[in-house]
Amino acid sequence: MKRIVTAGAASIIILAASSFLSARIGYNAGLADAPGVIRSPDAAYIVAVIDRIQSGDSVSAAAMLESHLDGSLIDRWAYDRREQRFSSILRPAEIAAIPVLIGIGAQHRAKNPTASTSDKTRSAIADVVKKYESLAPK
């Protein structure tokens, strides 16, 4: 009986260690780096905004940035992983900072309401503002 318990415990430890190492190796290889994946489209979008600013079309550039902010706030679930049990294993420092960063956008949205005409968008942003505005640095 003692051998069975020892073998079972060893199997669980080996499985947990190999799962953790696999996740860590996959993350380091970029396989689970979702924020890194979105950086290329973000860079292209930023260039489009800069091009508009440099051409003197600041109204269009500001509208693009405001729209991008709305999208970022609505997609907040993808970034705030505080309530997911094991997320802190791979990226603890980044995950702790994310609610504060979302709070900065929520604070801006509280002062400057969205120009979106969609009730669904306005409702989603209001939820974000209510939850995250207080987390922004003062």
pLDDT, one tens digit per residue, over 109-135 is 999 999 888 899 899 899 889 988 998
Q: Which pLDDT belongs to residue 108?
A: 93
How does pLDDT run across 41-77, given as a tens digit for each residue? 778 888 999 999 999 999 999 999 999 898 888 877 5
> What is the C-alpha separation between 104 and 102, in angstroms, rounded?
5
Categorize the per-residue pLDDT at 13 as very low, low, confident or very high, splitting at 50, 70 and 90. confident
For residue 34, what are its two tokens?
């979702």
- pTM, entire model: 0.61
Mean pLDDT for 74-87 is 62
Task: Look at residue 12 in the predicted model and tell me its pLDDT.
Answer: 82
Q: How many other CB atoms are found less than 10 A from the CB of residue 82?
A: 10
